[in-house]
C-alpha cells in the first residue's frame, strides 16, 4: 500500500488494459512515464473480466497490471468494478434491471443496467468488492479505492416494483405514519389522500401533473438509495483495507443534479469529481469555474480531486468540439486554481471499439507524433512543478448558496414560468464576480456563513426556517446579502409560505410581492437605471426598504425591481428580475465594494484570477481566455514559465501563469 502522491499535482486518468493486448501493457507504462503520469484509475468497467461467470473470479491479469504500474512508480486508484454488472448477471436476475417512468425496462447493452434499490445487485457487488479488497489491500501500488462510477448517470430514477417497495420503506422511516405523509404531501388536493403506505407508488406517468411533494420525496429517496449503495461498499473497504482512502467520482457539472452531493460529500474520504466542457454553452469555461467552486463547497473547502476530464473532444454531445491548442492546459489550471490537487482524464488510451471510441484521451488514436500528445507531456511537466500548491486552500469572501433539493423543487412543472431554471441566476452572479476578479465559494445554505462579506441567495425556491435565519444572521453580522426572485417561496414540503412572497425572506428584505408577472421568451423590460431585465417581474411593495431601481416599462412600470435595506451591520438586497450581464456585473461590483470585499487581482476583461493560500505561501493563478496578449499587474515567480515576474505578468493569447507570492 502506498499513500496518494502529495509532492506534486497528481496527473493521470482511467486505464483500461482489458481493452488491449497484454503485450501492449509494458509500452503503456513506458509512455505514462514519458508523459509524467503518476496515477492510474484501474478496473472501472472490469466486472465481466474479474468475474466472467458467477462465483468464478479471474484476477491474474489485474495482478500483472498492478505490478507493472508499481514498477513504473505509478499509484493506483483501484476501482471496485461495480458500475456495470456483466451480461450474465442481468440474464440470471432480470428483476434487477431499471425501469423508466413509462414502465419500459432498460436492457443491458450500455452501462449501469441495474436498479439502485436491488438487494440482489448489492449482494453481488459486495461479493466482488470482498474479493478485490482481500487480494489487493496490501499491494504496494494501491493508493486509493474508487467505488463504482458516476452514480445515477443512467439508472436513476428507477420506477420498478423493487424501487416502489424500497420507496415505501423510505417513506415509512421518514414520516412514521400515513397521516404525517398526507399532511406533508398535501393530499387533500385532487382526492389523493392515502389510507396506507401500501398504496403509495413511485411518481410514474400520470394522466396530468402529479403531486410535486411526491416527486420531491422520490428524488430525495433516489439520492439516499444510491448513497446507501456507496456506503455499503465503502464500509466493506474500510474494514478489509484499512488506511486506504475511498472515493467515488461525482458529476458536479451543472447539467447533472440527480444526487444531493452536499449530503454525499461528508461520506467521502476525499471528494472527487468529473467535469466535461459543454460545447453548446455561450461560455463553457465560465461553467467550468462555477463547477470547480461548487465541488470545493461540497468538499467543505478542502482540496479535491478532478478524477476525469477530457484532453479534447468528448463523444456524447450533439457537436463534439475539439479543444484549441493550449486549452487543455488552461482548463486544467482553472481546476487547480479552484482547489483541485489531482488532474485525471478519461482515459489513458483512446478506445478502438465501443460507444466512446471517438472520446479523446491522453494517448490519441494517431499516437505520439501529435500536437495533443505534446500538450499532454507539457501538462505532465507543469503538474510536477505545481507540487508546492498541493494542500493549500482557495481564498474567498463571497458565498453563493446552492441546494440540490431546492433545485429539484424549483424545476417541478406548473410553476409561474417554464423558462425559469434553477441555477440560471447563480451562474449569472458567478460569471459577474469572475469577470471582476472576485472568487466565490458555492456552498450549501446550512454551511457556516460567518466568514463571508457577501452572501448571494439565487432562486432558493425551497428554503427552511433555519437557512433563512442563517442568511439574516449573516446580514446582521455585516454581510451584504443579495436575494433574487423566486427565493424563500416554499418550505421543505414544497408548501407555499403564505402572506406574500418572498416568504422566508420578507422580514429580512423589508419587501413583499402580491403577484408574479413572468415575461415571455425574448421579452425585455427596461429599468430606470438604464439596465434591462428578462424572464421575471413581480408586483413588489417596498414597505421597509429603499428602492434602488424600478421597472421603466413592461407589465409593472414604476414598481420596484431592486431594493436595499440596512440590517444590523450589513444590508439586504432584493432583485426581482434577471439582469443583463453588464448590469449584473455593476450590481455585484457595488455589493463587493460596499461590503469591503476585494478582488483577487486587477485583471483585464477575459482574464481569470484566483488565489490559493497555504502555510508555504500564496499562489496567484492567472488565466487568459482571450485571443490577445494581456498584461496583469503582479510580482512573483511563475511556476509555469519558471522565471521571476517583476511588476507585470504578460500572458500570451490563451496563456496562463501561476505566481508564487509572499
DSSP string, 51-115: -SBTTB---HHHHHHHHHHHHTT-EEEEE--TTS--HHHHHH-GGGS-B-TTS-B--SSSS--S-
User: What's the confidence (pLDDT) of residue 189?
Assistant: 97
The side-by-side arrangement of strands in the sheet containing 532-534 is 524-526, 532-534, 578-579
Residue with cell string 457539472: 253
Q: Tell me the average pLDDT across 190-207.
A: 97
User: What's the confidence (pLDDT) of residue 209?
Assistant: 96
Does the pLDDT of residue 53 top 90, yes or no? yes
Does the pLDDT of residue 1 top 80, yes or no? no
Distance in angstroms (rounded) separating the CA atoms of residues 605 and 225: 45
Does the pLDDT of residue 287 top 90, yes or no? yes
Distance in angstroms (rounded) separating the CA atoms of residues 155 and 600: 42
DSSP, res 422: T
DSSP string, 146-189: E-SSSTTTTT-S--SHHHHHHHHHHHHHHHSSHHHHHHHHTTTG
Does the pLDDT of residue 456 top 80, yes or no? yes
**Could you give the 3-state DSSP secondary structure of residue 372?**
helix
pLDDT-derived band at 2 (thresholds 50, 70, 90) equals confident
Q: What is the pLDDT of residues 408-436, one digit of tens each?
A: 999 999 999 999 999 999 999 999 999 99
**Could you give the 3-state DSSP secondary structure of residue 656?**
strand
H or E segment to which residue 658 belongs: strand 656-661
End-to-end CA distance of the chain: 36
User: What's the confidence (pLDDT) of residue 254?
Assistant: 83
The pTM assigned to this predicted structure is 0.97
Q: What is the pLDDT of residues 516-557, one digit of tens each?
A: 999 999 999 999 999 999 999 999 999 999 999 999 999 999
Q: Tell me the average pLDDT across 624-631.
A: 97
Does the pLDDT of residue 84 top 90, yes or no? yes
Distance in angstroms (rounded) separating the CA atoms of residues 575 and 562: 5
Q: What is the pLDDT of residues 340-382, one digit of tens each?
A: 999 999 999 999 999 999 999 999 999 999 999 999 999 999 9
CB neighbours of residue 302 within 10 Å: 14
User: What's the confidence (pLDDT) of residue 255?
Assistant: 83
DSSP string, 571-640: EEEEE-SEE-HHHHHHHHHHHHHHHT---SS---TTEEEEEEEETTEEEEEEEE-SSS-EEEEEEEEETT
pLDDT-derived band at 574 (thresholds 50, 70, 90) equals very high
The answer to whether 623 and 611 are in contact (CB under 8 A) is no
Q: Tell me the average pLDDT across 98-102.
A: 97
What radius of gyration do the chain's Cα atoms show? Answer: 26
For β-strands 340-345 and 304-308, DSSP reports them as parallel
Could you tell me the three cell numbers for 361?
484521451
User: What's the confidence (pLDDT) of residue 295?
Assistant: 98
DSSP, res 495: -
Query: Structural domains in the chain?
Result: 10-158+226-390 (3.20.20.80), 398-595 (3.40.50.880), 607-661 (2.60.40.1180)
Q: Tell me the average pLDDT across 447-453.
A: 97
Q: What is the pLDDT of residues 203-260, one digit of tens each?
A: 999 999 999 999 999 999 999 999 999 999 999 999 999 999 999 999 999 889 999 9
Distance in angstroms (rounded) separating the CA atoms of residues 14 and 78: 10
**Angle subtended at Cα 266 by Cα 262 and Cα 267, rounded to the nearest 5 degrees:** 115
DSSP, res 478: T
Could you tell me the three cell numbers for 104?
419500459
* Catalytic residue annotation: 150, 308
User: What's the confidence (pLDDT) of residue 616?
Assistant: 79
**Averaged pLDDT score across all residues of the chain:** 97
The side-by-side arrangement of strands in the sheet containing 656-661 is 393-394, 607-614, 617-624, 656-661, 630-638, 643-651
Q: What is the pLDDT of residues 107-122, one digit of tens each?
A: 999 999 999 999 999 9
Amino acid at each position: 500500500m502506498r499513500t496518494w502522491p502529495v509532492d506534486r499535482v497528481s496527473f493521470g486518468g482511467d486505464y483500461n488494459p482489458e481493452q488491449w493486448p497484454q503485450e501492449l501493457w509494458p509500452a503503456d507504462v513506458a509512455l505514462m512515464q514519458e508523459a509524467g503520469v503518476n496515477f492510474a484509475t484501474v478496473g472501472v468497467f472490469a466486472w465481466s473480466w474479474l468475474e466472467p461467470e458467477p462465483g468464478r473470479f479471474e484476477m491474474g491479469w489485474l495482478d500483472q497490471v498492478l505490478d507493472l504500474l508499481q514498477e513504473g512508480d505509478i499509484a493506483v486508484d483501484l476501482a471496485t468494478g461495480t458500475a456495470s454488472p456483466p451480461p450474465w448477471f442481468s440474464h440470471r436476475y432480470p428483476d434487477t434491471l431499471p425501469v423508466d417512468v413509462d414502465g419500459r425496462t432498460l436492457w443491458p447493452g450500455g452501462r449501469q443496467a441495474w436498479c439502485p434499490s436491488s438487494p440482489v445487485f448489492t449482494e453481488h457487488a459486495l461479493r466482488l468488492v470482498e474479493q478485490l479488497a482481500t487480494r489487493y489491500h496490501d499491494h504496494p501500488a494501491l493508493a486509493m479505492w474508487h467505488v463504482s462510477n458516476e452514480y445515477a448517470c443512467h439508472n436513476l430514477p428507477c420506477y420498478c416494483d423493487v424501487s416502489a417497495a424500497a420507496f415505501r420503506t423510505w417513506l415509512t422511516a421518514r414520516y412514521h405514519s400515513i397521516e404525517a405523509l398526507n399532511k406533508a404531501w398535501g393530499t387533500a388536493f385532487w382526492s389523493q389522500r392515502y389510507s396506507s403506505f401500501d398504496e403509495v407508488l413511485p411518481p410514474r406517468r400520470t394522466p396530468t401533473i402529479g403531486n410535486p411533494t411526491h416527486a420531491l420525496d422520490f428524488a430525495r429517496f433516489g439520492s439516499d438509495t444510491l448513497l446507501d449503495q456507496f456506503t455499503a461498499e465503502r464500509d466493506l473497504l474500510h474494514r478489509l483495507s484499512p488506511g486506504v482512502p475511498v472515493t467515488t467520482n461525482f458529476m458536479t457539472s451543472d447539467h447533472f443534479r440527480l444526487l444531493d452531493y452536499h449530503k454525499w460529500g461528508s461520506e467521502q474520504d476525499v471528494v472527487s469529481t468529473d467535469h466535461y466542457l459543454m460545447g453548446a454553452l455561450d461560455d463553457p469555461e465560465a461553467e467550468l469555474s462555477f463547477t470547480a467552486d461548487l465541488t470545493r463547497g461540497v468538499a467543505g473547502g478542502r482540496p479535491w480531486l478532478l478524477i476525469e476530464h477530457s484532453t479534447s473532444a468528448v463523444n456524447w454531445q450533439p457537436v463534439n468540439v475539439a479543444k484549441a491548442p493550449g486549452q487543455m492546459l488552461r482548463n486544467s489550471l482553472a481546476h487547480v486554481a479552484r482547489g483541485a490537487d489531482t488532474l485525471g482524464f478519461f482515459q489513458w488510451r483512446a478506445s478502438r471499439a465501443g460507444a466512446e471510441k471517438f472520446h479523446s484521451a491522453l494517448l490519441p488514436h494517431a499516437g505520439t507524433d501529435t500536437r495533443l500528445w505534446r500538450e499532454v507531456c507539457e501538462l505532465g511537466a507543469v503538474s510536477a512543478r505545481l507540487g508546492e500548491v498541493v494542500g493549500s486552500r482557495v481564498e474567498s469572501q463571497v458565498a453563493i448558496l446552492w441546494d440540490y433539493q431546492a433545485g429539484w423543487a424549483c424545476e417541478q412543472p406548473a410553476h409561474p414560468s417554464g423558462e425559469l431554471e434553477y441555477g440560471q441566476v447563480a451562474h449569472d452572479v458567478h460569471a459577474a464576480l469572475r469577470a471582476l476578479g472576485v472568487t466565490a465559494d458555492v456552498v450549501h445554505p446550512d454551511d457556516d456563513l460567518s466568514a463571508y462579506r457577501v452572501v448571494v441567495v439565487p432562486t432558493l425556491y425551497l428554503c427552511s426556517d433555519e437557512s433563512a435565519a442563517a442568511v439574516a444572521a449573516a446580514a446582521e453580522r455585516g454581510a451584504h446579502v443579495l436575494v433574487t426572485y423566486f427565493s424563500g417561496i416554499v418550505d421543505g414540503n414544497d408548501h407555499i409560505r403564505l402572506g406574500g412572497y418572498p416568504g422566508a425572506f420578507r422580514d429580512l428584505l423589508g419587501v413583499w410581492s402580491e403577484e408574479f408577472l413572468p415575461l415571455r421568451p425574448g421579452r425585455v423590460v427596461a429599468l430606470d437605471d438604464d439596465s434591462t431585465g428578462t424572464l421575471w417581474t413581480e408586483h413588489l411593495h417596498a414597505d421597509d426598504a429603499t428602492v434602488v431601481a424600478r421597472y421603466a416599462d413592461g407589465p409593472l412600470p414604476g414598481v420596484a425591481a431592486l431594493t436595499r435595506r440596512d440590517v444590523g451591520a450589513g444590508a439586504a438586497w432584493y432583485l426581482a428580475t434577471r439582469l443583463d450581464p453588464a448590469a449584473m456585473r455593476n450590481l455585484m461590483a457595488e455589493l463587493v465594494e460596499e461590503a469591503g470585499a476585494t478582488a483577487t487581482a486587477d485583471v483585464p476583461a477575459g482574464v481569470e484570477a484566483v488565489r490559493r493560500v497555504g502555510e508555504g505561501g500564496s499562489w496567484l493563478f492567472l488565466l487568459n481566455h482571450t485571443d490577445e496578449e494581456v498584461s496583469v499587474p503582479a510580482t512573483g515567480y511563475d511556476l509555469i514559465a519558471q522565471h521571476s515576474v517583476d511588476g507585470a505578468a504578460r500572458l500570451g493569447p490563451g496563456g496562463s501563469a501561476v505566481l508564487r507570492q509572499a
